[in-house]
């Protein structure tokens, strides 16, 4: 199972301890390739990320695209959500924004 911190860079403090740098996620504009779905009962962001991207750690893309906070686990079945399909530009922008 992939690490949820796979895309989070590390830094080393002056005392030698390694820590994760804060992650600032990029905005995700609507694209023609996006898919809009109504979640089924029990769907979660990590399950949808696995279904559409093959990687549960990319749940944050769906969360950011739908203005959901990271603590949001259950999805409302009567509320349509957007699934960005072309994620390469999103991941590239995330790498550019890392410091």
Question: Model confidence over 50-97: pLDDT tens digits?
Answer: 999 999 999 999 999 999 876 566 788 899 999 999 999 999 998 887
The pLDDT mean for the chain works out to 86
Q: Residues 42, 61: contact at Cβ < 8 Å?
A: no
- pLDDT at 47 (0 to 100): 93
Residue 19 has pLDDT above 60, yes or no: yes
CA 82 to chain centre: 12
CB 87 within 8 A of CB 47: no
3-state DSSP assignment of residue 12? strand
pTM of the predicted structure, to 2 decimals: 0.76
Q: Tell me what pLDDT residue 10 has.
A: 75
- Contact between residue 52 and residue 86 where contact means Cβ atoms under 8 Å apart: no
Question: Residue 99: is its pLDDT beyond 60?
Answer: no
Strands 35-37 and 18-20: unpaired
């Amino acid at each position: 199972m992939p690490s949820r911190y796979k895309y989070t860079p590390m830094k080393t403090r002056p005392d030698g301890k390694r820590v994760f740098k804060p992650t600032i996620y990029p905005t995700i504009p609507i694209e023609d390739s996006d898919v809009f779905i109504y979640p089924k009962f029990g769907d979660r962001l990590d399950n949808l990320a696995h279904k559409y991207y093959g990687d549960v750690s990319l749940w944050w893309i769906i969360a950011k695209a739908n203005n959901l906070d990271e603590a949001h686990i259950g999805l409302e079945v009567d509320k349509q959500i957007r699934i960005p399909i072309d994620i390469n530009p999103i991941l590239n922008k995330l790498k550019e924004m890392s410091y």
